[in-house]
Structures are given as C-alpha cells and as structure tokens.
Amino acid sequence: MMQKNRIDNLFQKYFDKTASPEERSELMSMINELSSDEELLKLMEDTYEGFVPQHNPFVLGKKEQIFQKIQVSIDNAEHKSSLTKVVLNNKWFKYAVAASVTIFIGIAAYFFTYHPKDTQTLVTDFNPGGNKAVLTLSNGATIILDNAKNGQLTSQGGTAVNKANDGEIIYDASQFPQTETGVKPAYNTITTPKGGQYKVVLADGTRAWLNSVSSISFPTSFNGKERQVEITGEVYFEVAKNKNKPFLVKAANQLVEVLGTHFNINSYNDEPDIKTTLLEGSVQIRRLNSNFSALLYPGQQGVTRSSGPIHVQHVDIEQVIAWKNGMFQINDASIASLMRQASRWYNVDIEYEGKIPDRKFSGKIKRDVKASEFLQMLSYFNLHFSVEGQKIIIKN
C-alpha cells in the first residue's frame, strides 16, 4: 500500500511538473518495475480523474479520449518510430511502449497541462449567448423580451403575460375570468435568435426552455380537449400533468403526445434527424403522414428521420440536456456537430478549409465562456482556426 501511495504521489507530481529530478528518476524506476501495462493505465486514469485544468475550461473525456489524444500526439512526435500505435478495438484502447516509458508518459502529460504557446487567440472574440428572444403576439405585434421591463407586458386571450425577475415569461389566466370552452384562443410565438435562449411558463403550468435559434407557438390558454404547441429548433419541456388533456408537440414531421412528463426535442433544420429524449414518464412519438410510431421510456431517445421507422436508442441524459444546464457536453461527436452548436450559440458562421476533419470529440465546457475559450479545445486535436468578420474558419 505504501508503494502504491508513493507511485501515485510521484505520478501526480510528474503531471503537475513539480517533480524534482530525483523524483522523476524514482518514478521511472518504479514504472519499469510494474508487472503489466494495465497497472500503468490505471495510474493514468486515476491521475486524470483527479486532474482539474488550471487555465483551460474544457474538460476532456475519459480514458478512451485520453488515448485518442495520445495517438494524435504520437503521429506527430519525433519519437513516433519508437512507439507502437494505439489500436482502437470497439471502445477500448490498447497501447504498448516499445522503447521508452518516459516518452510515453511525456506525450500523455501534454494533455494534462497547459501550453500557452499552443493556444491560438482571436483578434475578434465572440461573446456567449444569453436570455434573448422576441415575443410575437396574436395581432402580429412584437416585444423584444431581453429589453422589456419586469412585470405585466400585455394580456392575450384572457391571459396576462408577465416577465418575472429571473427573465422568464409567465402566462397567467388567474387574473381574468375563465375563458369559455370553444372560444378560439389567441396564439403567441416566442423565438430565440442565434446566441439566444429563453424560458416560458405556459397557461397550464408547463415549462419550456428554448435553446438558440428555436421557437414555440402556443395558445394563450388551453380550452379544448388537448394542449398542442408547435416548435422549431430545440426545446426542453416539463409538462404539467393533466390525464384528461394530453399535451401534444408538433416538430417538423413529428408529433409527440404526453400526459405529463419531462423530455427534450432537437429538431434543428441543419441536423440530420429529429431527436426526442425522455427523462421521466412516457411519450408517444408519431411520424406524420405515416404509420410509424414509438413509445419511449426514461433514458430512451427516439430518432425520427424523413422516412422509415422511428429508431429508439438509450442515451446519456445528462449530455442531451446539458445546454439547458449551461453546458456544452458531447460524447464522440463529430467536429461538424460540435461547430453547429458553436455557430448557434456564438452567432457565428462556420467554414472549413479543405476536408472536414474526421475526428470525434468528447468532453464538456461551460456555455458562459467566450468563443476563444471554447475553441481552445481544438488545439488538443491538432486543429487550427482563423476568424474573418463573423466567420470562424476551421483548418485541419
């Protein structure tokens, strides 16, 4: 146990670059005495799990991504001829060191430390998004919500429209007489721009969070036998329970029906599929103008394409709703998918110089950082970028 504690301590000091020459020598001797590569792998994993970057806000993924990054460095290192390539087998990375454990650890240490000389800077930086949206009333008039004062903004169809202190919009029918059943309600739309997000509480108590470049159209009161809204982009719902009045969400060619539950719909036009992810309860998904449908349970995601059946898969819930919780969180995402998110949040255009890099990214970063900090992660994958006006150009 004492030896393990000692090697753990030396290993951490190596990564922190605080080890003395004697401690570095002692560490190399102890590593050479390890009985298997698995022991070295475990040391690296343990060190990584406890590592908190001092300057880089991007939190890299777990062991699979660690060794993916080591591979990128190996490919470009002057010592690559003396190292065995990292081999991908499903989701496990096998590794070996043919000549020098010291070289191997040195390459790995690169990804645990900060290198100012490798960090690019933006001459023109871009701020993160925030609470920005436009409310379009039933008569076509608009209210810019981020500039509107708190309190009652207007009334629509017998419902007061209020802006709360935290910025959310609340539809409250309690201040007015109950609208009679069968009376045509007023319809409103809330739309977020690039770099915008917003939260609205509908008249039935349902809460909806809009991601950037999204919209929700809804009646100011739900008087019929069902509650139906229509969305574009990405919206997270916490639906107020009402077993007698189902809640319906139309998104492009898909209709989702629930009684009361929490779920997320991603239906951006620039994404290949509509993805509906369930957190609690159950939802029924139906592709319009077809016989295809699917029932989702918590932890499942329904993928609706332009044709064919709805595919159901298990997903990482935390990753799906990270945007709502103020994070970018990705797992084996392509550079194109990652930069589509950046484009919407930072209100920038993305262009690729040459072929789009075929690499996968994993990790998370807070959404309140500037674009320059967001883009720091690209240097970990030997990608570079430049800025022209409102456009970020990704270079391989």
Domain boundaries, the chain: 2-114, 130-320, 331-395
CATH of 130-320, one of 1.20.810.10, 3.40.50.2000, 3.50.50.60, 2.60.120.1440: 2.60.120.1440
As a whole number of angstroms, the distance between CA 197 and CA 214 comes to 8
Structure confidence at residue 98 (pLDDT): 29
Q: Exposed, middle or buried by CB within 10 Å (0-12, 13-18, 19+), for 347?
A: buried
Please give the backbone phi and psi of residue 323, each rounded to the nearest 5 degrees, phi first.
-60, -40
Cβ atoms of 77 and 107 closer than 8 Å: yes
In a structure prediction context, what are the per-residue pLDDT tens digits for the chain, which is 396 residues long?
556 677 777 776 766 667 787 887 787 777 666 655 566 666 665 655 554 444 444 554 444 444 444 444 444 433 333 333 333 333 333 333 323 344 344 434 444 444 444 455 555 789 999 999 999 999 999 999 999 999 999 999 889 999 998 899 999 987 655 544 555 679 999 999 999 999 999 999 999 999 999 999 999 999 889 999 999 999 999 999 998 999 999 999 999 999 889 999 999 999 999 999 999 999 999 999 999 999 999 999 999 998 889 999 999 999 999 999 999 888 878 888 989 999 999 999 999 998 887 777 777 888 999 998 888 777 666 778 888 999 999 887
Task: Report CA-CA distances (Å) from 205 to 120, 162, 182, 227, 230.
Answer: 46, 13, 20, 12, 17
Three-class SS string for the chain?
Answer: CHHHHHHHHHHHHHHHCCCCHHHHHHHHHHHHCCCCHHHHHHHHHHHHHCCCCCCCCCEECCHHHHHHHHHHHHHHCCCHHHCCCCEEECCEEECCCCCCHHHHHHHHHHCCCCCHHHCCCCCCCCCCCEECCEEECCCCCEEECCCCCCEEEEEECCEEEEECCCCCEEEECCCCCCCCCCCCCCEEEEECCCCEEEEEECCCCCEEEECCCCEEEEECCCCCCCEEEEEEEEEEEECCCCCCCCEEEEECCEEEEECCCEEEEEECCCCCCEEEEEEECCEEEEECCCCCEEEECCCEEEEECCCCCCEEEECCHHHHCHHHHCEEEEEEEEHHHHHHHHHHHHCCEEEEECCCCCCEEEEEEECCCCHHHHHHHHHHHCCEEEEECCEEEEEC
pTM given for the model: 0.73
Per-residue pLDDT, 262:
96
What's the confidence (pLDDT) of residue 46?
A: 63
Torsion of CA 302, 303, 309, 312, to 10 degrees: -40
Q: What does the pLDDT read at residue 45?
A: 59
- The answer to whether 41 touches 101, Cβ cutoff 8 Å, is no
Q: Provide the CATH topology of domain 331-395.
A: Phage tail protein beta-alpha-beta fold (3.55.50)
Q: Find out whether 322 and 368 touch, Cβ atoms under 8 Å.
A: no
Asked if residues 177 and 164 have their Cβ atoms less than 8 Å apart, the reply is no
Place of tokens 């059943």: 181
63: tokens are 């062991």
Phi, psi of 230, rounded to the nearest 5 degrees = -130, 140
* pLDDT at site 76: 44
Q: How far apart are CA 161 and CA 380, in angstroms?
A: 47
